[in-house]
Amino acid sequence: MPLQVDLKSSLSIGQLAQAAGLRTSAIRYYEEIGLLPAPERQGSRRVYGAEALEQLKRIALAQAAGFSLQEVKLLERGLGDGEPAPQRWRRLAARKLSEVDAQIARLRRMRALLHRALHCECTSMRACPLLAQGDADTRASVRAPRRIPSRP
């Protein structure tokens, strides 16, 4: 259950993690890769303000929309090109939408192939027309492009 946060209070890493629904290791990782700024410290203890929770909410929203952590960095910080954030968000969202549309098309082809396989009445794999027509074009049409998964 997310922690209720007073916007004027400071949070420990554990409190921030609980409020954001994350593990503390995820918050440390976001700091390590530059998605979350390094927090103030009180002694050896990390201390976060409410802005860190807002940043984590934006990261979660972008990830829910399918953006990788590298893409989230571009959304948040840009490439130093001075492009205003709303324009950057629209441009990257349009690109992501194209990727999603391509994935949907690929999944539809996969679904159609699976439906044909369900209704196949072949007595052996060697005699199966699905395998006979399974040329490189068919395999390529359902194969997803390789993507390195983002942490965490």
CATH number at residue 45: 1.10.1660.10
Which pLDDT does position 142 carry in this prediction?
Answer: 53
pLDDT band at 132 (very low <50, low <70, confident <90, very high): low
Which pLDDT does position 136 carry in this prediction?
Answer: 45
- Burial string for 9-36 (b: 16+ CB within 10 Å, else e) reads ebbebebbbbbbebeeebbebbbeeebb
Residue 150 maps to a domain: no
Residue 47 maps to a domain: yes
Q: Are residues 137 and 91 in the same domain?
A: yes
Full domain range(s) for residue 56: 13-66
Q: Are residues 53 and 94 in the same domain?
A: no
If one counts the domains in the chain, the total is 2
| Portion of the chain with pLDDT greater than 90, in percent | 47
